[in-house]
Structure 1
Amino acid sequence: MATLHQEHPTHEHIHGPACGHTAVPHGDHTDYAHNGHMHREHSGHWDECESTDHITHSSHTHEHGQGCGHSAVTHGDHLDYVHDGHRHAAHDGHWDDH
């Protein structure tokens, strides 16, 4: 999955286990949900963690929603659900893998 490298230049907050933001395991790193954005540490700065690919999670049969047991994090204009180290978002009748 290609990820847009978009540095968040004025991000002075340091994310970590006790920072108060939702930590989302994502592949080989951790994203942090912060004010509707997903941030990740990269080479001494913070990036907006945005995928440039549309990846359908075709074998995802679980329906996310209130009470589904997975953490929901605000991401832009929608909710992502943290599930097995991925963020899933509803899109056109299926779930995308972010």
Structure 2
Amino acid sequence: MTTLHHEHIEHAHAHGPGCGHTAVEHGDHLDYAHDGHLHREHAGHWDECEARGHTPHDGHEHAHGAECGHTAVRHGDHLDYLHDGHRHAAHDGHYDDH
């Protein structure tokens, strides 16, 4: 999965432990969920960290929702659920791996 590199301009907030935003493990770094976006520190600035393409999470039997026990993170116009180091989003009867 390729990640887009788009600098989040004028992002004065410094994310880190205790900043109040949900940290999401993403490969070799942490993203921070902030106002429906995922931010990642990169070369002295913050990038929008968005996956490119459609990647179904095959074999996912668990149904996410309000009572599933996984952290929900607002992501644009939907909720992703943090599950086993992945962000899952419901899509056309399955879950995508964001």
Report if TM-score (shorter chain) is over 0.5.
yes
Matches within 5 A, 1:35-74: 35-74=35-74
Distance (whole Å) between structure 2 residues aligned to residue 85 and residue 5 of structure 1: 21
C-alpha deviation, 1:36, in angstroms: 0.6
Q: CA deviation at 1:20?
A: 0.4
Runs of 4 or more, structure 1, over 3 Å off, are none
- Separation of aligned partners in 2, 1:31 and 1:59: 25
1:4 equivalent in alignment to 2:10: no
When the two chains are superposed, the root-mean-square deviation of aligned CA atoms in Å is: 0.7
Q: Between Structure 1 and Structure 2, which shows a larger proportion of strand residues?
A: 1
- In the alignment, the residues of structure 2 paired with residue 45 and residue 38 of structure 1 have an alpha-carbon distance, to the nearest angstrom, of 13
Under a length normalisation based on structure 2, what TM-score does the superposition of the two structures give?
Answer: 0.97
Mapped partners of 1:88, 1:69: distance in 2: 13
CA distance in 1, matches of 2:97, 2:70: 14
Q: Percent identity of the aligned residues? A: 72
Q: Which amino acid aligns with 2:58?
A: S
Q: 2:85 and 2:48 mapped to 1: Cα distance?
A: 18
CA distance in 2, matches of 1:93, 1:81: 15
User: Which letter maps to 2:52?
Assistant: T
